[in-house]
A and B are shown apart, each in its own frame.
Chain A
């Protein structure tokens, strides 16, 4: 049996390992377009901010591939002939397969206006791109960052940290308006300013301008003015990399469509990770879920199905943790309703994501929220009926695991709902008391 995996990221490498755990003798080939062992893409932000050197984010060694009997092949897949079960490479080579997993991932979306190809337009999506960005930051004087999600803020923090005068453009008047409330946004903005980031409200670029040598010299704003800069960091979302299936019968929408077993519409061909749009039985839709832990889980599920162990992938409860400008920010479950929805429509709840994820479920029940803020520590709870359905915790994180437990195990919290809804400094204490009350009295240790 020959297994071919296109892509050496979280999904691809995880799938390879799962396959080997279940098939000691089959031939496993990972085709990668990047000349490294598998590395941590979220770790790129920490390379940019200089927390770790680039070699440290390699999550596997070349020895690991040898140890697991996985053949890592450098080359770019260009097309798939599903009749002949063959993958064509850009250099003319070809590989036949018995089972194929497409795990090509995603790349940053370029700006939708002129100037995207100029030297000085940078992204935080590959190791090569990040090393290029670090080089550029050494000589850059002034950078503009465009984008509304975590990656844009990581770019902003990294550039500011490297001594570049960094300007963050906000289309409206508030950070992360789909997720944060006013206080949460103000807290993060305060931290950004303390890190010498210049925040521009109601500011939007419509063109990136270059000099005669094709280097960025400014951005043109929607009000017609020019804003001088020599670097433009772009993080406005990601695009699944699905060129390889373009001239094949493999079905796609925004990404490659797969069922709960990660199977495409073509026999023996699977997809997982950022390039896959996975059927979700709760929403009855195919969802994009551009998060590292999801890619690992999908890779594992694909691996099991590929070796003939039927396994239906089920998306976990939304959860994300990040560290921005020294603030730990954790989001769990459902945070905000979309305010512009008509009242009788189901509320679509938003989630902090890296650009293009769709991890929220429609949630028709009424909800209310509870809020506590002390110094730089905030807790926001979203409660529906007798249950906690979401939480956003900034700063001190000692309650996070407990909140996650209450959400994921759907623990009935009716005994404290009223008190929690009052919010304020007692909220933290009340949660501790509740936790204590559900622990049984000690008998003997």
Chain B
């Protein structure tokens, strides 16, 4: 998400910038090898792997957004996603869809 962060800042949309503040950890299941390093390094003991292997966002109320799991994953499975990312990716998907259809 480093690239998207940079782009969101460059676009200078205040609403998007604000939305970068709040977010959640999301997972790309196709990268996950279920090693469990994520959960082992979680200070509040969330079983992060169980979310990651299914590609689900870590929707645990006790998550303190520390980012440890994102940092320790050796395969880049986890990333921090904000509302701004969702909006930008939705736009992007729409644009790519238009290109694919030849609009």
A residues apposed to B, CB below 8 Å: 10, 40-43, 46, 51-53, 56-59, 292-293, 316, 319, 321-323, 328, 330, 396-402, 409, 411-412, 432, 435-436, 438-440, 442, 445
B22 located at the interface, meaning its Cβ lies under 8 Å from any Cβ of chain A in the complex: no
> How far, in Å, is A2 (CB) from chain B's closest CB?
27
| A40-B36, A42-B35 known, 7 other contacts, Cβ within 8 Å | A40-B33, A40-B34, A43-B33, A52-B40, A53-B40, A59-B36, A402-B3
A43, B36: Cβ atoms under 8 Å? Answer: yes
Given A46-B35, A56-B40, the answer on whether A293 and B10 have CB atoms closer than 8 Å is no
B36, A436: Cβ atoms under 8 Å? Answer: no
Question: Measured between alpha carbons, how far is A316 from B30 in the docked complex, in Å?
Answer: 10
> How far, in Å, is A13 (CB) from chain B's closest CB?
10
Which chain A positions have C-beta within 8 A of B53?
59
B16 located at the interface, meaning its Cβ lies under 8 Å from any Cβ of chain A in the complex: yes
Q: How many residues of B contact A (CB 8 A)?
A: 36
Which chain B positions have C-beta within 8 A of A399?
2-3
A445, B87: Cβ atoms under 8 Å? Answer: yes
Which chain A positions have C-beta within 8 A of B33?
40-43, 292-293
Question: Measured between alpha carbons, how far is A436 from B8 in the docked complex, in Å?
Answer: 9
Given A43-B33, A322-B74, the answer on whether A439 and B7 have CB atoms closer than 8 Å is yes
Question: Measured between alpha carbons, how far is A316 from B29 in the docked complex, in Å?
Answer: 13
> How far, in Å, is A320 (CB) from chain B's closest CB?
9
> How far, in Å, is B23 (CB) from chain A's closest CB?
15
Which chain B positions have C-beta within 8 A of A321?
31, 74-76
Question: Measured between alpha carbons, how far is A438 from B2 in the docked complex, in Å?
Answer: 17
Which chain A positions have C-beta within 8 A of B94?
440
B74, A398: Cβ atoms under 8 Å? Answer: no
Closest to A400 in B: B76
For chains A and B in complex, what number of residue pairs have CB atoms within 8 angstroms? 108
Which chain A positions have C-beta within 8 A of B31?
293, 319, 321
B30, A319: Cβ atoms under 8 Å? Answer: yes
Question: Measured between alpha carbons, how far is A17 from B24 in the docked complex, in Å?
Answer: 27
B76, A445: Cβ atoms under 8 Å? Answer: no
B65 located at the interface, meaning its Cβ lies under 8 Å from any Cβ of chain A in the complex: no
| Partner pick for A40 among B2, B3, B35, B72, CB 8 A cutoff | B35
B76, A52: Cβ atoms under 8 Å? Answer: no
Question: Measured between alpha carbons, how far is A183 from B102 in the docked complex, in Å?
Answer: 40
Closest to A444 in B: B15
Question: Measured between alpha carbons, how far is A330 from B79 in the docked complex, in Å?
Answer: 16
10 A-B pairs (CB sep. < 8 Å): A46-B37, A51-B74, A57-B36, A293-B30, A319-B31, A432-B6, A440-B91, A442-B16, A442-B91, A445-B19
Closest to B72 in A: A51
A57, B35: Cβ atoms under 8 Å? Answer: yes
B88, A439: Cβ atoms under 8 Å? Answer: yes
B96, A411: Cβ atoms under 8 Å? Answer: yes
Question: Measured between alpha carbons, how far is A328 from B73 in the docked complex, in Å?
Answer: 10
Which chain B positions have C-beta within 8 A of A56?
35-37, 39-40
B1 located at the interface, meaning its Cβ lies under 8 Å from any Cβ of chain A in the complex: yes
Question: Measured between alpha carbons, how far is A406 from B87 in the docked complex, in Å?
Answer: 19
A439, B76: Cβ atoms under 8 Å? Answer: no
Which chain B positions have C-beta within 8 A of A41?
33
A397, B35: Cβ atoms under 8 Å? Answer: no
> How far, in Å, is B1 (CB) from chain A's closest CB?
7
Question: Measured between alpha carbons, how far is A41 from B36 in the docked complex, in Å?
Answer: 11
B3, A432: Cβ atoms under 8 Å? Answer: yes
